[in-house]
Amino acid sequence: MHSKKQAPVNYYVGIDVGSASVRAALVDEFGTVVAHADQPIQIWEPQTDHYEQSSADIWAACCSVTKKVVCGVDARRIRGLGFDATCSLVVVDKQFQPLAVNCEGQNHRNVIMWMDHRAVSQVDRINQTQHRVLSYVGGTMSVEMQPPKLLWIKENLQESCWEKAGYFFDLPDFLSWKATGVTARSLCTLVCKWTYTSDGGWDDSFWQMIGLEDLVKDKYEKIGNHVLSPGESVGKGLTPEAARDLGLPEGTAVAASLIDAHAGGLGVIGADVKGHNLPCENEPITSRVAMICGTSSCHMGVSETPIFVPGVWGPYFSAMVPGFWLNEGGQSATGKLIEHVVQGHVAFPELQAKAKASSQSIYTYLNSHLDLIKKSLPVGFLTVDLHVWPDFHGNRSPLTDLTLKGMVVGLTLSRGLDELALIYLATIQAIALGTRHILETMQAAGHRINTLFLCGGLSKNPLFVQMHADITGKPVVLSKEVESVLVGAAILGACASGDFASIQEAMAKMGKIGRVVQPNHGDKRFYDKKYEVFLKLVEHQREYRSIMKSF
């Protein structure tokens, strides 16, 4: 018998620019990550709530990791490239050279990061306008969006930056420009972070009302007047220079990009769930929420018609899945909060030493330690007297109040490893309770959600996953590929290559389910009580702040 010759496999490159690192993956047409690499990028914090990066540093890291993942692969089989990135603001001059976004005049620091909160007074003034475009961001614009940052630059760096600026890019769009030489913007970035609407485009009256009428005069050339749908091919693909930098063939298809969380949603939300006994089986994709959990967390739900959810961003048409409206809830600090709580505890050095001695990560060790001290009770019940309000960096959704602070109720004088494990557990529970708060707000507005799809770094922590299942009462689906964000970016490249007829087709073929975590329904009453306490915490915070205001 003669064996049939196997058809050659096609590959796609996904590049993900996170807050602290750049990652790349080579993904095959079946959604399998066959090579992966990452490299850290620099963050500057010149003063409180100011976070800056360098576009040159980011691009260099993109090139380095891409060369690593494509090494040894037949370049003819690499069909497309997709980028995703944080929704940070990149500023360049008319010759595309970096411009300083700081008073120190450091031009290489030309990126205002997504988590930068310098523009608080600017966003307050924008929200006071109550302009109609704000209805598409939950009624209140976030300081993490681009208009308040642009206004801050105009008011604080008029001569050194604003007047010299040639282009303001969302970071995902900067990367597609760097790769192709085309200044087209992604519909995803513009509708989610810049107030562009898919049906009406830019609203002149908004920019004039907030004092940025300069952008209207040049027909929005500086912020984008050529808009592409995510996954659409940009220009003629890689330029000769970008191809050399990345180690890929000239002309390789490059996709219109996505924000990083949206790429994660793309990588998981469309997976085939047949045979897993999930409530979303035989239900439309609108019954699912994709939760992308990393430094921060995003909650992505789609609908066939626009749903306006108070305190939740959107609805954005075709911003993630073409043809569907997207609502995006979020928590500004999740992975960062867990790290802050654990590393700031007096027992952290002891934890480090014991985790190292047992060849475990600190979180694996903490999870094991909780199992040791729980005795006969479910592990979650250990926090019956310990409660956390998780908004140490303000509340993004659904309260949209960046002035809220974190709270811990139930502290004692104990300083040991047991106490560190308990505050770690209570913090994870608080994040999950915040997710429940977001989901209940979305459902009250009209969403019908029955299944969570998790990806991102925190989805690798089994305690984090189980707490989200138990506290929301919904099954959690984990992707077969833990790097779902990179798979989502690669799906964009696959669409740009023309190998798939649509993003939906690529999602179904390249998104794969790995494991399903069911909620422990017997623990429901305990978590209902925890949720009652959770909501009381913010009431008390607002009450005591009101008292102190009269001082």
C-alpha 525 chain-centroid distance: 31
Cβ-contact 260, 189 below 8 angstroms: no
Question: In whole angstroms, what is the distance from residue 358 CA to residue 434 CA?
Answer: 33
What φ, ψ does residue 43 adopt, rounded to 5°? -125, 130
As averages over each run of 10 residues, the pLDDT of the chain (551 residues) reads 66 96 97 96 96 98 98 95 98 98 97 96 97 92 96 98 98 98 97 91 97 94 96 98 98 97 93 92 96 94 96 94 94 96 98 98 98 94 98 94 95 96 98 98 98 94 98 96 92 97 91 94 97 97 91 74
Give the pLDDT of residue 3. 47
Q: Which residues contact 83 (CB under 8 A, 6 or more apart)?
A: 15, 16, 17, 62, 172, 175, 176, 179, 254, 255, 257, 258, 489, 492
Cβ-contact 494, 29 below 8 angstroms: yes
For 122-177, what is each residue's pLDDT tens digit?
999 999 999 999 999 989 999 999 999 999 999 999 999 999 999 999 999 999 99
Question: In whole angstroms, what is the distance from residue 105 CA to residue 100 CA?
Answer: 5
Question: In whole angstroms, what is the distance from residue 139 CA to residue 304 CA?
Answer: 21
Q: Which residues contact 355 (CB under 8 A, 6 or more apart)?
A: 361, 362, 364, 365
Question: In whole angstroms, what is the distance from residue 150 CA to residue 162 CA?
Answer: 8
Question: In whole angstroms, what is the distance from residue 157 CA to residue 7 CA?
Answer: 57
Give the pLDDT of residue 1. 45
Question: In whole angstroms, what is the distance from residue 439 CA to residue 445 CA?
Answer: 10
pTM of the predicted model as reported, rounded to 2 decimal places: 0.89
Going from the C-alpha of 126 to that of each of 123, 208, 371, the distances in angstroms are 5, 11, 49
Question: In whole angstroms, what is the distance from residue 484 CA to residue 478 CA?
Answer: 9
Q: Which residues contact 530 (CB under 8 A, 6 or more apart)?
A: 383, 387, 429, 433, 471
What φ, ψ does residue 126 adopt, rounded to 5°? -60, -45
Helices (H), 304-449: 335-343, 348-357, 362-373, 417-445
Give the pLDDT of residue 68. 98
Give the pLDDT of residue 36. 96
Per the rule left: phi > 0, alpha: psi between -120 and 50, beta: everything else, 275 is left
